[in-house]
């Protein structure tokens, strides 16, 4: 049967018939043949209307999604830190200085610590500047503020793609603490914790997590040096061996920033003494490094005047 608007032809005799609206059967007046069909007027138009409405809804949703995405690009924080492009250099470092601005436990020397460490790594140890990721509350990039998730991402970046022969550095200057150990891997029954700037809402970073993130994944032949200038940080990497010496900072000890080492500039005692020891004696052993750091702290306590090269370095940078 051939459809033609509101008119159809009889499939038997060919006479043209007029089909009333909303009619599904019609009888030919000539040959009395009953013709059954669904008119385009009703169902076809309804189908077109549905397709048109669906198309408009799709366009509307796409428009709304584009506007939301555009708004988020201006108002939300990036989901990943602005990491240096040289993700696979032979030397790489993450330097994290947490000051805790606005809190009664604010630290004054942590930003100075990471600035001095960055300068030292670049100028004295040959680290490329774009292979150093520095996190502090003075950074304008929100992904470089030392919040918990930013520090986590930075630590993952530090070991990402590392190979035998690579030299990695993790430097943290800030607060540390202890909490009860719940998995039985601590001899003293306590886990060591580092405090990100948002630790009151997001929690602290445990030694178990640090070990799993930057120690366990290291391939053989990769070197990682961690300089942790914080309280209760003696075993914060959960390493299998520990060197016991009579100087800060063991798991049960606290440390503070001070101006006694560099004159009128606040720095962390451990960071300052580390840089000075390495700078004064290139190629020294780990044992001599620890002894030199301990001597520097003892000299400070006894009032020995400190005007070495690191004091000049701190003044030059800061």
Cα gap 146→139, rounded to integer Å:
9
Exposure string for 78-105, b = 16+ CB within 10 A, e = fewer: eeebebeeeeebebbbbbbbbbbeeeee
DSSP 8-state assignment for residue 144: G
- Our separate counts of H helices and E strands in the chain read 8, 14
Q: Is 116 an active-site residue?
A: no
- Work out the burial of residue 107: count CB atoms within 10 Å of its CB; fewer than 13 is exposed, 13-18 middle, 19 or more buried: buried
- Work out the burial of residue 277: count CB atoms within 10 Å of its CB; fewer than 13 is exposed, 13-18 middle, 19 or more buried: buried
Cα gap 123→209, rounded to integer Å:
31
Find where tokens 């719940």 sit. 182
- The encoded tokens of residue 104 equal 């009664």
Kindly name the residue from 231, 232, 249, 273 that is annotated as catalytic: 231
Kindly name the residue from 143, 162, 175, 249 that is annotated as catalytic: 175
Q: Is 175 an active-site residue?
A: yes
Peptide bond just before 249 cis, omega within 30 deg? yes
- What residues act catalytically? 175, 231
């Amino acid at each position: 049967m051939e459809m033609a608007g509101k008119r159809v032809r009889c499939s038997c005799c060919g006479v043209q018939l007029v089909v009333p609206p909303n009619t599904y059967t019609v009888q030919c007046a000539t040959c009395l043949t009953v013709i059954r069909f669904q008119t385009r007027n009703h169902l076809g138009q309804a189908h077109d209307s549905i397709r048109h409405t669906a198309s408009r809804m799709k366009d509307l949703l796409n428009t709304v999604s584009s506007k939301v995405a555009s708004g988020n690009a201006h108002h939300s924080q990036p989901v990943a830190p602005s990491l240096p492009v040289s993700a696979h250099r032979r030397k790489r470092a993450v330097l994290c200085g947490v000051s805790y601005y606005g809190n009664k436990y604010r630290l004054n020397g942590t930003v100075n610590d990471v600035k001095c460490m960055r300068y030292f790594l670049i100028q004295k140890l040959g680290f490329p500047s774009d292979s150093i990721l520095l996190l502090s509350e003075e950074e304008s990039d929100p992904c470089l503020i030392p919040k918990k998730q930013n520090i986590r991402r930075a630590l993952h970046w530090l070991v990402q793609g590392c190979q035998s022969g690579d030299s990695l550095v993790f430097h943290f200057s800030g607060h540390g603490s202890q909490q009860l150990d719940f998995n039985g891997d601590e001899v003293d029954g306590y886990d060591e914790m580092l405090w990100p700037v948002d630790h009151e809402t997001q929690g602290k970073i445990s030694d178990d997590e640090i070990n799993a993130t930057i120690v366990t994944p290291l391939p053989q032949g990769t070197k990682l040096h961690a300089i942790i200038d914080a309280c209760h940080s003696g075993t914060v990497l959960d390493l299998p061996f520990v060197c016991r010496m009579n100087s800060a900072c063991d798991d049960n000890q606290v440390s503070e920033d001070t101006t006694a080492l560099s004159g009128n500039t606040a720095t962390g005692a451990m960071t300052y003494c580390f840089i000075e020891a390495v700078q004064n004696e290139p190629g020294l052993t780990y044992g001599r490094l620890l002894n030199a750091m301990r001597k520097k702290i003892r000299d400070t306590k006894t009032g020995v005047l400190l005007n070495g090269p690191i004091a000049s370095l701190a003044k030059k940078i800061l």
